[in-house]
Chains A and B, each alone.
Chain A
Amino acid sequence: MKRVQFSHPLMPYMLLLPQLAIVGVFFLWPAAEAIRASFYLEDPFGFGSTFVGLDNFKDVVSASEYSRTAWFTLIFSAAVTFFSLSIALLLAVKADNVIKGASTYRTLLMWVYAIAPPVAGLVGVMLFDQHIGPLNDLAHALGWNMQIGVNYFDTAFAMTVIAVWKQIPINFIFFLSGLQSVPKSVQEAAAVDCRSSSRRFWTVTFPLLAPTSFFLLIINITYALFDTFGIIDLVLKGEPGNNPVTLVYKVFLDGFRGNDLGGSSAQSVILMILVFALTVVQFRMIERRVHYS
């Protein structure tokens, strides 16, 4: 292949500059700033700051409020990841049985992917709306006096359902394309070798989906931890009160509502470490992961 030469050696760096500037201004600089702030006690009235070492971290971790939030985040993330993955997988398997290579269907289903994420969250919130939400009505009809924003459990339930609801389409599309890439002949060989279709699924199809599943697992954990911020905000309508929030939402609350910049920064540093750990795990696993050709 012919190599394209730039006329000036600095040219490629110039071309990269806008991108690098964006990364620097919007990611690296705030991150560095957060790390710095986590070691200082900021005066709430803006009169300078004092270096306090690890005090912010000690305060954050020892607060009972923080561990309550951490527990909720853990359970919430686990539930969202589990349900959005398993429901999407179930739907994808059913869809795969129906479409069997019919590409028109597949294109139609792809639309879900294009439309869903931004809209689904809003629709989900609407479904639980105190006044017009059909799911809210349904719960009442079943004798469940659902009080979102008031009752801790009810609020947590609504958040989880909406977060799952929003994530299913994305998982569905990935699972479906994963299923469609499992060779037909391998599935047929399995049909000759094994009578039970559920056993075939768990012993042949599911292991062959492993790379897709693993990828989605990481994506979903990340989603549940961080990208659910908007949903939580919509459900709480900006009034957290005694309701459950995730760690990410708490960073926002403490920093902007509580004006505790140091504590908030310490929390975001802890989250950064968490992300870093997740990334390491992901790369390790991907390296070790068998990719079936």
Chain B
Amino acid sequence: MAGIQLNTLRKIYAGNVEAVKGISIDIKDGEFIVLVGPSGCGKSTLLRMVAGLETITDGELFIGDRLVNNVEPADRDIAMVFQNYALYPHMTVYGNLAYGLKNRSIPKDEIEKRVRKAAEILEIGDFLDRRPRQLSGGQRQRVAMGRAIVREPAAFLFDEPLSNLDAKLRVQMRMEIKKLQKELGTTSLYVTHDQLEAMTLADRLVVLSGGVVEQIGSPIDVYEKPASTFVATFIGSPAMNLLPLAKSGNEWKLDNGATVDVKLNTDLSDLILGVRPEDLVIEELSEKFDSGLHTALTVHVVEPVGAESYVHGTIGEGSVDVVVRAPGKLHFEPGQILKVTAKPEKLHTFDTKSGKRIELEGALETA
């Protein structure tokens, strides 16, 4: 087992497409790192460079203390789980699991032992004689996992391994992968575009956008202190509300004139205010607290999802869509006006131009 170190890795594809623009990550031994970002942000490219399936244009890649930039995939001591499983269709399940071991001249009885053990862990023992096309999607997924496990590699690499499964199976496999990874303690690099999957699996998240790292941190850190408006809207569902905030005299005001008293040591005359849907509470429903923000919200659409409802509305002329997370049993009418409020420590501020987070000087106070 080993850590993985990425030092300013870059990838330029033929045709001058720079897919990865100098990414550094220090992955500790046994850590579960999830690369998350929208489609086309370079996640797969980065993972494939680690696997050795894509050449590294620039930068250094260490697995353990070994520089592996020019090492063949088979010699990197990694195992990979592919999105479409990439099982060998002409081999049985047993053959699929054993293939990587046979090629490493591991004795037959040792292969047998490892395959049986992996099959038991993954509950695929009954299918060892079947071929992949005789298996369901979930079973194929397990075989793909098994193929990685038997190798006992320094690291697992996953490229969206669950995205071909249906929603229910996806949740189940997600839990199993996490459990398995903790039991085996194998360093893992996992790619997904699904922020929920990323949050639930990761020890640390790496949020990517356009080939650069937006933020690295634990899921909670990233959720509570998003480093940019990109991260703020990408992580969390429904996405964080972003509202323009402008300075007028000594006060910061929303578009609809509501005052937000942010203490900021800045020369900027405008900002972006961020507040998560669950942090915007309906005033009549909550206990009194020192509020950082008061405003009226005109309800437009309500999305009930059971335990809660997402109330979409606007806060005045030309306002963007604002979402409030409300208890599910309440009833709302379109056109209804709600008073919403938020605790000062739940407010986020970002630079309008760069989208970067600006830390507040302390708690916000009611105007």
Contact = CB atoms under 8 A, between A and B. Distances in A.
Interface of A: 183, 185-186, 188-196, 199, 203-204, 207-208, 210, 290, 292-293
A292 B107 CA distance: 30
Contacts of B83: 185
B74 interface: yes
Interface in B29-88: 51-53, 72-75, 78-80, 82-84, 86-88
B86 A189 contact: yes
A203 B51 CA distance: 21
Kindly state the interface size class of chain B when it binds its partner.
20 to 34
Nearest to B144: A189
Contacts of B131: 290
A293 B74 contact: no
Contacts of A207: 90
Given A186-B86, A189-B147, A191-B74, 17 more contacts: A185-B82, A188-B86, A190-B99, A191-B53, A191-B72, A191-B73, A192-B73, A192-B79, A193-B74, A194-B103, A195-B72, A199-B103, A204-B88, A208-B89, A208-B90, A292-B133, A293-B133
Contact of B51 (A192, A194, A199): A192
B338 to A, nearest CB: 50
A194 B78 contact: no
B88 A189 contact: yes
A293 B90 CA distance: 10
18 contacts: A183-B84, A185-B84, A185-B86, A188-B53, A188-B80, A189-B82, A191-B72, A191-B74, A192-B53, A192-B73, A192-B74, A192-B79, A192-B80, A195-B72, A195-B103, A204-B90, A208-B90, A293-B89
Interface of B: 51-53, 72-75, 78-80, 82-84, 86-90, 99-100, 103, 131, 133, 147
Contacts of B84: 183, 185
A188 B103 contact: no
Given A188-B53, A293-B133, A193 B86 contact: no
Q: Which residue, A185, A204, A207, A292, has most C-beta atoms of chain B within 10 A? A: A185
B89 A193 contact: no
Q: Which residue, A191, A192, A199, A207, has most C-beta atoms of chain B within 10 A? A: A192
A136 to B, nearest CB: 45
Contact of B103 (A189, A196, A208): A196
Q: Which residue, A189, A194, A203, A292, has most C-beta atoms of chain B within 10 A? A: A189
Contacts of A204: 88, 90
A190 B133 CA distance: 18
B317 to A, nearest CB: 52
A21 to B, nearest CB: 44
A292 B89 contact: yes
A196 B99 CA distance: 13
A69 to B, nearest CB: 40
Contacts of A208: 89-90
Nearest to B76: A192
Contacts of B82: 185, 188-189
A292 B90 contact: yes
B80 A189 contact: yes
B224 to A, nearest CB: 37
A32 to B, nearest CB: 44
B86 A194 contact: no
A209 to B, nearest CB: 10
Contacts of A293: 89, 133
A236 B337 CA distance: 99
A90 B235 CA distance: 50
Contacts of A203: 99
A275 to B, nearest CB: 30
A172 to B, nearest CB: 23
A248 to B, nearest CB: 36
A193 B53 contact: no
A193 B150 CA distance: 11
Nearest to A196: B103
Nearest to A210: B90
B23 to A, nearest CB: 21
Contacts of A193: 74, 99-100, 103, 147
A186 B103 contact: no
